[in-house]
Structure 1
Amino acid sequence: MSTPPLASGPQGPPALRPLLDTVLDALHTGATARGGPLPAGGPSAVAARVRDAMTDILPEKGDPDALRRLVHTLAEGSADPAHPWCAAHLHCPPLAVATAADLAVSALNPSLDSWDQAPAASELEALVTRALANEVYTDKPPRPTADSDALVTTGGTESNQLALLLARETQGPGVRLIHGANAHHSLPRAAWLLGMPEPVAVPAPAGTLDPAALDTALNTLPGPHLVTATAGTTDAGLIDPLPEIAHLCTIHGARLHIDAAYGGGLLFSNNHRPKLTGLNAADTVTLDLHKLGWQPVAAGLLAVRDPHDLTALHQHADYLNADDDTEAGLPDLLGRSPRTTRRPDILKIAVTLATLGRTGLGTLVDQVCAHAHHLADLVDAHPALELHDRPTISTVLFRPTGADDDTVARIRRHLLHQGHAVLGRTRLHGRLWLKATLLNPHTTPDDLTGLLNLVEGTPPP
């Protein structure tokens, strides 16, 4: 048996070309077999097809058709974020150019734990992360003396955890997290993982953090304090009153972290950027470009206003960042992440920024926000549907007029089981709502009308 070809080196491109044809064909046949945004039949039907395709996980002899068969099976059994009726989550359809760049990373396989494993990737990451941090900290307050920086992460959960870690290391182990009741679940969980004091949740009666309640908490709780605000909640895409929260943090000497995993993409849009006024006052900011950035997972960032805070992450391993190597000019990468082996996810981001530019990305942001407003208009005008509120970003909450919560939940599960549509669910103000998070810029008005028709036409139990 001949030795299988490698993806990199001189033999890599010729070996990959026919395999890419196989993958692309299997993606097409799998999507055709699926026929909609989600495979029909529910978990049991999908599991059966996967088991049929993977009859022997480690056969005695290999099967040259395995690539085609398993890619087809995965495509047939996947939720398709590019389908206009796949709108449950902050799960974007990735740009083709970003996906192509990601292939190059897989083929070259650099690892960002030492310069000699990723020479070009380490420099590219340094350039792009600082540029993105400066997007966050435009006209930043004058406290820092050095340029802002950003770390590449696997997404909002890791970014939020890193933000709390930096707060603990700069403010001391007794720093207490104060977060809105609307905050992402990863924040109180990170406080628990890091052994911080029990976090305090501030009421968010309108879906956003209440500044008056925050002021009370800061006045009554012993410090030091870490306040977290949200720019783009997962349930309704709402943005906390960032300027008021930043002002309170300044008055009380509290550290501020803003989770803008969803809303951070508004920075690219001249029309929507003002919604993030106050973002630059934060000590740290979470961004996810696999949401409003159209990147393949993962493409998270943690922007840090004062790069001196990052000294808390410094680690030494002689085989990766020996002192004499660092003194000789080899970059020390271990302080860029709590992970050691680390994929250069920055390439797809860099390619996207360079290919589309600010105008191109801003146009995509404007398009999905406009789609959300159009969907809200359709719901508002529909006698059988009820709109929760006008969208802030690209999330729309609605429900059938007069339906109880059990009916709302059943409609969603029916659409999932049939493979017709993928809608989310969220509970606000004591009621269950269907959630459409629109992240596909190619969605049309007819697509949105069709989605509402599906909801209205769901048969009774």
Structure 2
Amino acid sequence: MSPRTSTAAPTAAAGNAATARAHLFNSRTLDAYRESLAAGVATVAEQVARVDGPFTGVTPQQLAPRVDAVDLDRPLHDPGAALAELEQVYLRDAVYFHHPRYLAHLNCPVVIPALLGEAVLSAVNSSLDTWDQSAGGTLIERRLIDWTAGRIGFGPGADGVFTSGGSQSNLHALLLAREEALHRLGGDRALLPRLRVLASAAGHFSVQKSAKLLGLAPDAVVTVPTDADRRMRPEALAAELERCRREGRPVMAVVATAGTTDFGTIDPLPDLAELCERAGAWLHVDAAYGCGLLVSPTRRHLLAGIERAASVTVDYHKSFFQPVSSSALVVADAAVLRHATYHADYLNPARMVEQRIPNQVDKSLQTTRRFDALKLWLTLRVMGADGVGALFDEVLDRAADAHDLVAADPRFEVVTRSQLSTLVFRYLPAGDGAHPLADGANLHARAALAASGAAVVAGTTVEGRHFLKFTLLNPETTLADIAEVLDLLAGHAEAFLTDTA
């Protein structure tokens, strides 16, 4: 290597480092921080102001070349230029959940206090695993867990932790249930293949995924039949509990649902709790969707019996109008969280417990964790729980009206009335549910509607037939919006039938 080359390389590296340091967030770069965030807020605000539908209908084939054309090894060196590029590869074609005709999945519009929290927590960047990385953040998260436990109806011995979402909360709950079951059985891990989880046939697929991750048998999850309203049948649960007892297959958990993803129905929690208490089985309530009822001024009674659960999943980013991610697992007995504890000498040595240092990693499946609790904290401090509950009540009122609207429309059939805010229905060609082109017409209508960008709805299958699904989480959605989407769906379905004839 020549002397000239050997001296030039360090000089170039030093120059790059000096330039890069200008982008670090600290007391010397506050002006750049303010300018960049203000530009980002302005860009998003301008885009939201221009949005006239929830989606542009862009396809992967259309968007991928734009993203692939970006040379990540050639930086733009200008936040404004990067934001302009971002409009082309993301913002322009994003799916906007705030739009009143976004009616597809469990994605809620978000409240401004939570967005403020997102900005604060990202800048400070606390990690909620140990006290020496979060301090006040630890205490705020713990206070919110206590508040949620109180809303559930748990006693002073309750505890919990924030998670990334309902799937992780369910996994965490079933891990605790598995370890408690094995403990009761004398700690013999050879019994693991015999453990069973009883879950509703309308429950969330994360139960099956969790069972696989936890090393249970392929047939460990036993689905319990539901009634016509897609609620777990207590007599069917009683029969399965008895069958498992008779066959020597310990039931490590029963998973009830407070808000099924497809039907928005709530299992009969008091009856299920009674059966679990008699059988000595862990009752987990997946209230990822229905947790908004905890703050509802008019419908809290729909969660009666949830206080008798051993663990509860709540997703604030569904019915509390929080940005993703914001979820929690709450348990009635704090002691069971020990099953997720591992003491690492460099992080949370056991002596810290004796010193009463609160480390959230002692009860979490994750190590590094964002301070997502701050978003809920600021929401409650600005809006109050009653404000959040009033918004959720508006959504549920609109869903009830939408059910009546669709049920009275001869072009469609409805499966069942939701206790929350979903509506499963389908277009009926010539009023005939058995029409050979019914499935094709409904599949086409959904895809064509999304491609148009006018609205986005979801789909599911019921007893092998294809259905459409509204999921309402936006208080701004009106009955007129819903009526318009129904007309659009019917039009696309009719066009399919005409083209297929």
- The alignment's TM-score, normalised by the length of structure 2, stands at 0.86
Q: Does 1:46 align with 2:68?
A: no
Which whole-Å CA distance do the structure 1 matches of 2:29 and 2:323 have between them?
23
SS at match of 2:318: coil
Deviations 1:171-230 (A, max 9, x none): 115432111111111101111110123221112242221211211111111343111111
3-state SS, counterpart of residue 364 of structure 1: helix
User: 1:34, CA displacement in angstroms?
Assistant: 5.8
2:115 and 2:288 map into 1 onto residues whose CA distance is 20
My pick for the range that moved more, 214-223 or 100-109, is 214-223
Alignment partner of 2:221 out of 183, 186, 199: 199
Map Cα deviations across residues 82-118 of structure 1 (whole Å, 9 max, x no partner).
1111111001111111011111111001111221111
SS of corresponding position for 1:294: coil
Change over 3 Å in CA distance of 1:204–1:27 after alignment to 2: same
Please say if residues 411 and 455 of structure 1, whose CA atoms lie closer than 8 Å, have aligned partners that are also in contact.
yes
1:112-140 Cα deviation digits (max 9, x unpaired)? 122111111011111111111121125x6
The answer as to 2:471 corresponding to 1:437 is yes
Q: What residue is the counterpart of 2:320 in the other structure?
A: 293
Q: Contact conserved, 1:231 with 1:240, CA < 8 A, in 2?
A: yes
Alpha-carbon contact 2:296-2:392 (below 8 Å) kept? yes
Q: Secondary structure of the residue that 2:442 maps to in structure 1? A: helix
Structure 1 letter corresponding to 2:239: T
Say how many residue pairs are matched.
453
> Shift of residue 377 of structure 1?
2.1
**More displaced, 318-327 or 388-397?**
318-327
CA distance in 2, matches of 1:38, 1:351: 30
CA-to-partner distance for each residue in 1:385-428, whole Å, 9 max, x for gaps? 22222221011122222361111011001111221211011122
Tell me which residue corresponds to 2:209: 189
Q: Indicate conservation of the 8 Å contact 1:416/1:422, yes or no.
A: yes
- Give the corresponding residue for 1:126: 142
CA contact (8 A) 2:162 2:326 kept: yes
2:101 paired residue number: 85
Q: Distance in 1 between matches of 2:305 and 2:463?
A: 27
Cα gap change, 1:446 to 1:60, in 2 (>3 Å) = closer
Q: Which residue of 2 aligns with 1:143?
A: none
2:385 to 358, 369, 390: 358
Go from structure 1 to structure 2 and tell me whether the alpha carbon gap of 1:329 and 1:150 turns closer, same or farther (over 3 Å shift): closer
Query: Which of 211, 215, 229 pairs up with 2:238?
Result: 215
- SS of the counterpart of 2:346? helix
Instruction: Mark the runs of 5 or more structure 1 residues left unpaired by the alignment.
Output: 141-145
The aligned counterpart of 1:224 is 250
Partner residue in 2 for 1:284: 311
CA contact 1:397–1:433 (8 Å) conserved in 2:
yes
The residue number in structure 2 matching 1:259 is 286
Q: Which structure has the highest helix share of the two?
A: 2
Matching residue of 1:345: 372
Which of 163, 172, 195 is residue 162 of structure 1 equivalent to?
Answer: 172
Tell me the equivalent position of 1:375: 402
Q: Is the 8 A contact 1:387 1:399 kept in 2?
A: yes
Matches of 1:296 and 1:128, distance apart in 2: 16
Which residue is 2:41 aligned to?
A: 24
- Structure 1 letter corresponding to 2:165: G
Report Cα offsets for 1:235-254 as digits up to 9, x if no partner: 11111111111111112111
The amino acid that maps onto 1:419 is G
Cα distance between partner residues in 1 of 2:472 and 2:424: 11
CA distance in 1 between partners of 2:166 and 2:262 (Å): 15
Report the 3-state secondary structure (helix = DSSP H, G, I; strand = E; otherwise coil) of the residue aligned with 1:280: helix
Counterpart code for 1:273:
R
Q: State the alpha-carbon separation in 2 of the partners of residues 29 and 75 from structure 1.
A: 10
Matching of residue 106 in structure 1 with residue 122 in structure 2: yes
Q: Look up the SS of the partner of 1:229 in the other structure.
A: strand
- 2:424 and 2:469 in contact (8 A); partners too: yes
Aligned to 1:385: 412
Instruction: Give the whole-Å Cα distance in 1 for the aligned partners of 2:419 and 2:29.
Output: 46
Say whether the 8 Å CA contact 2:161–2:360 is kept in structure 1.
no
Closer/same/farther in 2, CA of residues 351 and 34 from structure 1, 3 Å limit = closer
Cα distance in structure 2, aligned partners of 1:31 and 1:270: 31
Other structure's SS at 1:238 match:
coil
Counterpart CA distance in 2 for 1:15 and 1:373 is 49
Residues 118-127 or 70-79, more deviating: 70-79
1:164 is paired with a residue of what secondary structure?
A: helix
Partner SS, residue 459 of structure 2: strand
Counterpart of 1:154, as a letter, is S
Cα deviations by residue, 1:296-334 (Å, 9 ceiling, x for unpaired):
001111110010101111111122123444444432332
Displacement of 1:354 after TM fit?
1.8
TM-score under structure 1 length normalisation: 0.93
CA distance in 1, matches of 2:305, 2:342: 33
SS of 1:423 mapped into structure 2: strand
Judge which range, 278-287 or 397-406, deviates more. Answer: 397-406
Q: Contact (CA 8 Å) 2:76, 2:82: kept in 1 or not?
A: no
Partner of 2:11: none
Query: Which moved further from structure 2: 204-213 or 181-190?
Result: 204-213
8 A contact 1:23–1:68 mirrored in 2 = no
Deviates more, 1:422-431 or 1:300-309: 422-431
- Check whether the contact 2:399–2:472 (CA below 8 A) recurs between aligned residues: yes
Question: Does residue 415 of structure 1 match 2:449?
Answer: yes
Q: Does structure 2 conserve the Cα–Cα contact (< 8 Å) formed by 1:8 and 1:108? A: no
CA distance in 2, matches of 1:239, 1:357: 25
Q: 1:383, CA displacement in angstroms? A: 2.9
Partner letter of residue 245 of structure 1?
A: L
Give the 3-state SS of the residue equivalent to 1:70 in structure 2. helix
User: 1:68: which partner in 2?
Assistant: 84
Paired amino acid for 1:169:
E
* Secondary structure of the structure 2 residue equivalent to 1:319: coil
Structure 1 5/329 Cα, relative in aligned 2: closer, same or farther at 3 Å?
farther
Query: How far apart, in 1, do the equivalents of 2:20 and 2:322 lie?
Result: 34
Q: Sequence identity, in percent?
A: 37
How far has the Cα of 1:277 moved from its partner?
Answer: 1.0
Shift of the 231–324 alpha-carbon distance from structure 1 to 2, 3 Å rule, reads closer
In 2, the alpha carbon distance for the partners of 1:381 and 1:275 equals 26
**Aligned Cα RMSD in Å?**
2.0
One-letter amino acid matched to 1:45 = Q
Query: Structure 1: how far apart are the matches of 2:295 and 2:75?
Result: 52
Contact 1:87–1:437 (CA<8 Å) still a contact in 2?
A: yes
Structure 2 residue aligned with 1:302: 329
Task: Give the secondary-structure state (helix, strand or coil) at the position aligned to 2:425.
Answer: strand
Match in the other structure for 2:9: none
Of residues 225-234 and 331-340 in structure 1, the stretch that sits farther from structure 2 once superposed is: 331-340
Query: What one-letter code is carried by the residue in structure 2 that aligns with 1:22?
Result: A
What is the one-letter code of the residue matched to 1:376?
H
